[in-house]
Amino acid sequence: MKTVYLDNNATSAVAPEVLDAMLPYFGELYGNPSSMHTFGGQVAEAVETARERLAGLLGADPDEILFTSCGSESDNAAIWSALQSQPERRHIITTRVEHPAVLSVCRYWEHQGYRVTMLGVDAKGRLDLEEYAAALGDDTAIVSIMFANNEVGNIYPIQRMAELAKERGILFHTDAVQAVGKVPIDLRHLPVDMLSLSGHKLHTPKGIGALYVRKGVRFRPLLRGGHQERGRRAGTENVPYIVGLGVAAQLCADFMQKERVDVARLRDRMESGLLERIPDSRVNGDIQNRLPNTSNISFKNVEGEAILLMLDRLGIAASSGSACTSGSLEPSHVLRAMGVPFNYAHGSIRLSLSRYTTAEEVDYVLANFPGVIETLRAISPFKG
């Protein structure tokens, strides 16, 4: 059975061009890029080419890019460095809707005696700039706020928030894992100090990420050991995956504008079609300011997990805004922060598209999804 894959915010298919570029570095080009000989030198050159390509996508200098294993490592490294380089500052600002890669880190440091401010959101998942500005203080070591939300797709006012932090001499980090490659980011004009990204959201294999660190920002490495990545991240470079990330970045730069239009058009057609066909359904998030590929829809009086199971039987891969923990179904922390009503929050589904999503796949979803909700509502214990 063919899979209609609509879970690209979780991970994306490896682009054929990326795989082709990676393969030689699993075989004949196996040298260590830190070696002095020519055999290793050609591998080092490939790493630097990838760094240049990624820097080009971001409007950064190649020296400002360091490769990591994933977005979570990049987030950890950014926050660690900010705290270690400013021991006199004991305050962190983040939001209630961050990815666990940031929320868990902030909670850890809170247990270590740091003060953590978690900004709230309104019913559409939007941040309040006045609340944010009031939270900034002389003791603030770092602000860490995601560029775009992984669940509802909201794009946050990072430009203004970073400017406000800069005025106070406060470091600003953004988790841009969901945004890089989907919306334009130009770090020549966006005054963030650090930015995290992950390759497998950009059509590379899992296991490669990067952290942008602006020139002049004091940086304390999370991983210590060798001199790799200019002393900022120890460990022999994951060359095949770095090469793949470079190619993926180039593909994003080449096709981003077309993808933003085409993918958003498919997303909107699918979303409006589902809302028309299924009563008591609602879109979550700020539909005027979100990622072009992301739709989060809630269906009243059904469970998200049950929806996913039935969709899976039809070959449709999506994700739920609910998480099953210890046998108790809990709505996502993002939807709870937004105040989505309980009987809607439990039936939340995220549909996230990519450049590989087709109109025929959207048609298939529209033909089959309404029947799933109708069936589940007929047997649902939820009422009202």
Cβ–Cβ under 8 Å, residues 291 and 155: yes
Lay out the sheet containing 194-198: strands in order across.
65-68, 209-213, 194-198, 171-175, 140-144, 91-95, 115-119
Annotate 104-172 with DSSP letters as a single string. Answer: HHHHHHHHTT-EEEEE-B-TTS-B-HHHHHHH--TTEEEEE--SB-TTT-BBP-HHHHHHHHHHTT-EE
Q: At 92, is the secondary structure helix, strand, or coil? A: strand
CA distance 213 to 377: 50
pLDDT score, position 2: 82
pLDDT in tens, 357-370: 999 999 999 999 99
The token duo for 319 is 């994700």
What is the model's pLDDT at position 327? 40
Checking if the pLDDT of 372 tops 50, the result is: yes
Strand 115-119 with 140-144, pairing = unpaired
How far apart are alpha carbons 89 and 141 in whole angstroms?
5
Query: What is the reported pTM?
Result: 0.95
Please report the pLDDT score of residue 36 as a whole number: 84
Burial 112-148 (b: 16+ CB within 10 A, else e): eebebbbbebeebbbbeeeebeeebeeebbbbbbbbb
Identify the pLDDT of residue 328.
44
Instruction: Parse the chain into domains and list their residue ranges.
Output: 4-10+255-379, 16-252
Tell me which fold the domain 4-10+255-379 belongs to.
Aspartate Aminotransferase, domain 1 (3.90.1150)
Q: Does residue 381 surpass a pLDDT of 80? A: no
Do the beta carbons of residue 7 and residue 356 sit within 8 Å? no
Distance CA 191, CA 160 (A): 9
Q: Which of 197, 147, 194, 190 is nearest to 173 (CA)?
A: 194
Distance of CA 138 to the CA centre of its chain: 29
Q: How confident is the model at residue 321 (pLDDT cuts 50, 70, 90)?
A: low
Among the four given CATH numbers 3.40.50.80, 3.40.640.10, 3.40.50.1970, 3.30.365.10, the one describing domain 16-252: 3.40.640.10
Measured CA to CA, the distance from residue 284 to residue 226 in angstroms comes to 46
275-288: pLDDT as tens digits: 999 999 999 999 99
Residue 382 has pLDDT above 80, yes or no: no
What is the number of residues in the chain? 384
Could you report the per-residue pLDDT of 181-191, keeping only the tens digit for each?
A: 999 999 999 99
- pLDDT 10s digits, 77-130: 999 999 999 999 999 999 999 999 999 999 999 999 999 999 999 999 999 999
Give the residue numbers annotated as catalytic, written as ranges: 324
CB-CB contact of 15 with 356 (8 Å): no
How sure is the predictor about 330, in pLDDT bands with cuts at 50, 70 and 90?
Answer: confident
**16-252 shares the fold of 4-10+255-379:** no
pLDDT digits (tens, 9 = 90+) for 11-67: 999 999 999 999 999 999 999 898 888 888 899 999 999 999 999 999 999 999 999
